[in-house]
Amino acid sequence: MHGALSSLSARTTASGILTIDLAALGRNYAALSTRLAPTIAGAVVKADAYGLGADRVAPVLYAHGCRDFFVAHLDEALALKDVLAGDVRLFVLNGLVPGAEGRCAEANIVPVLNCLDQATRWAQQAAMAGRELPAILQFDTGMSRLGLAESEVRTLTDRPDLLAGVRVLFVMSHLASADEPDNEQNPAQLAAMRRLADRFPRAALCFANSGGIFLGAAYHGALARPGIALYGGAPTAGVANPMTPVVRLDVRVIQIRTVPAGTRVGYGGVHVTSAERRLATIACGYADGFPRHLSDRGAVYCGDVRLPIVGRVSMDSTTVDISALPDGTLAPGSLVEVIGPHQSLESIAADAGTISYEILTRLGPRYHRCYCNHQEPS
């Protein structure tokens, strides 16, 4: 009872409520699994499951059949071992920093080897452990971010002793333009991936990210790595989003005022009212992941009514024009919609000149996170 009262109190007093629909998350995983079959659907839960709480998200995905989880750093994988059963595979996308090999091997976590140095150190760990250790080899097929260059791949195949004691489960690469189906980089990367994968015929292929899943079966491989699509983000640009929304963000009104024409609003006085306006200050700012680039261009919603942002987004607050609402519709403590049925992750990202990934992963800790199986906040 005390926990329920504490949760109710936090919900009542918080500056905003981030509603996370775990049922929608499960439906998204099921839909992606169906599209991918017979390819296995893993799940990318790095960055605390894109800011939604890996300790809450990963068990839901596990309950829907996911057994392969990808994170960026070893510490993220170690934390997941406390909330997932022992039959999962945990993969570290960034590989291991020097000195972390022993802890990784002890915990039975699988590194993604991105360069010869990482591969050499993992093989040395296998020799010290006196047992075979699993790994993924990542190839750079044109993104120039992480992965073995083609010359390094040739080195590994010409000198198999460099991977002595390493069992290569998968070879993988990352698609740079998968959200753009017509981008010529996609087939170019696929061709490069196939050419390099031929050097490791015993290893399965791990290739498709969220966008890659929708490029077709040629990109799927044996294990896919959906990320943003799991959390309701659009996997493909410019078409209707096939995924179910997972997050909703509602933020409280702090203050309401009526100002005359010619009133300056916000830092720098960059916005000047052209007529009498009713303004509401809401409890979110760039410290909460509400981008400053939304200044004088984005909006929030009250029901179907768009409430434009006026002036600059501040650290802890933002001002919106509520003149289109009947007087008395909002009061201090009222909630307005920032992300929800009227404003998707993609639309707020477009207004901010960024991408849905950044909006999602920057949602701040001051919002009360409400985990439920529906979208509407009470």
pLDDT band at residue 90 using 50, 70 and 90 as cut-offs: very high
Mean pLDDT confidence for 29-47? 98
The alpha carbon of 178 is separated from its chain's Cα centroid by a whole number of angstroms, namely 15
Cα angle 367, 370, 374 (rounded to 5 degrees) comes to 135
Give the span between the Cα atoms of 58 and 67, in whole angstroms: 10
- Percent of the chain at pLDDT exceeding 90: 94
Mean pLDDT confidence for 12-36? 95
pLDDT mean across residues, the chain:
95
Same domain flag for 276 and 222: no
- Is the pLDDT at 5 greater than 90? The verdict is no
Cα angle 372, 376, 378 (rounded to 5 degrees) comes to 85
CB 250 within 8 A of CB 16: yes
Domain-embedded: residue 4: no
Name the 3-class secondary structure at 354.
coil
Both tokens of 105, joined, read 């091997």
Q: How many CA atoms lie within 13 A of 250 on its CB side?
A: 18
Same domain flag for 82 and 161: yes
Name the 3-class secondary structure at 127.
helix
The pLDDT value given to residue 124: 97
Q: Final residue of a domain: which of 231, 262, 294?
A: 231
pLDDT in tens, 198-235: 999 999 999 999 999 999 999 999 999 999 999 999 99
Domain-embedded: residue 6: no
The pLDDT value given to residue 377: 41
pLDDT band at residue 17 using 50, 70 and 90 as cut-offs: very high
Both tokens of 70, joined, read 């990808």
Q: CATH number for the domain including 97?
A: 3.20.20.10
Both tokens of 5, joined, read 């009262």
Domain-embedded: residue 114: yes
CB 88 within 8 A of CB 109: no
Q: Is 18 left (phi over 0), alpha (psi -120 to 50) or beta?
A: beta
CB 305 within 8 A of CB 268: no
Same domain flag for 217 and 263: no
pLDDT band at residue 376 using 50, 70 and 90 as cut-offs: very low
At CB < 8 A and 24+ separation, what contacts does 320-326 make? 320/279, 320/280, 320/281, 320/282, 321/277, 321/278, 321/279, 322/256, 322/278, 322/279, 322/280, 323/276, 323/277, 323/278, 325/278
8-state DSSP, 326? P
- Is the pLDDT at 8 greater than 80? The verdict is no
* DSSP-assigned states of every residue in 132-152: -EEEEEEB-SS--SSSB-HHH
Give the span between the Cα atoms of 294 and 348, in whole angstroms: 8
Same domain flag for 119 and 49: yes
Give the span between the Cα atoms of 349 and 340, in whole angstroms: 13
Q: Final residue of a domain: which of 204, 231, 258?
A: 231
Count structural domains, the chain.
2
- What are the respective helix, strand and coil percentages of the chain, to the nearest 5? 35, 25, 40
Mean pLDDT confidence for 135-148? 96
Tell me which residues are annotated as active site: 46, 267
Domain-embedded: residue 214: yes
Give the span between the Cα atoms of 33 and 40, in whole angstroms: 7
Q: CATH number for the domain including 337?
A: 2.40.37.10
Amino acid at 173: S
8-state DSSP, 68? E
pLDDT in tens, 168-208: 999 999 999 999 999 999 999 999 999 999 999 999 999 99
8-state DSSP, 66? -
CB 55 within 8 A of CB 76: no
Mean pLDDT confidence for 85-114? 97
CA R_g for the chain: 24
Same domain flag for 185 and 310: no
The pLDDT value given to residue 11: 73
Range of the domain at 280: 247-372
CB 220 within 8 A of CB 198: no
Same domain flag for 185 and 222: yes
CB 196 within 8 A of CB 171: yes
* DSSP-assigned states of every residue in 207-241: ---HHHHTT-GGGTBSEE---GGGGT--SSTTS--
Same domain flag for 138 and 178: yes
The pLDDT value given to residue 47: 97
